[in-house]
Structure 1
């Protein structure tokens, strides 16, 4: 996956973190609906950050 695509997907997940709790699961009274969403969103961000920064290397001077 390219770095640019990974960063766009990170932005999409961040936007969904604002939209989903209020629009889609705002009416769910149980705590586990939002807990599952936040766990999956957190894992997605971690994986996307790993793929976005996989090509970074530290070069000597």
Structure 2
């Protein structure tokens, strides 16, 4: 599903879309991880930022 840039807000900000380069760049920097590590975390925990943070903290 494409990221609708016209509809921003909490639901969009709380999810990590690995298909959008600008989002991957933001989240890798914000979480201090590589793209590969971020992809592993999203695959394991799901696309929500909170779930990814919890997974990375383990």
TM-score above 0.5, yes or no: no
Pick the structure with more helix per residue: 1
Q: Highest CA radius of gyration, 1 or 2?
A: 1
TM-score (norm 2): 0.31
TM-score (norm 1): 0.30
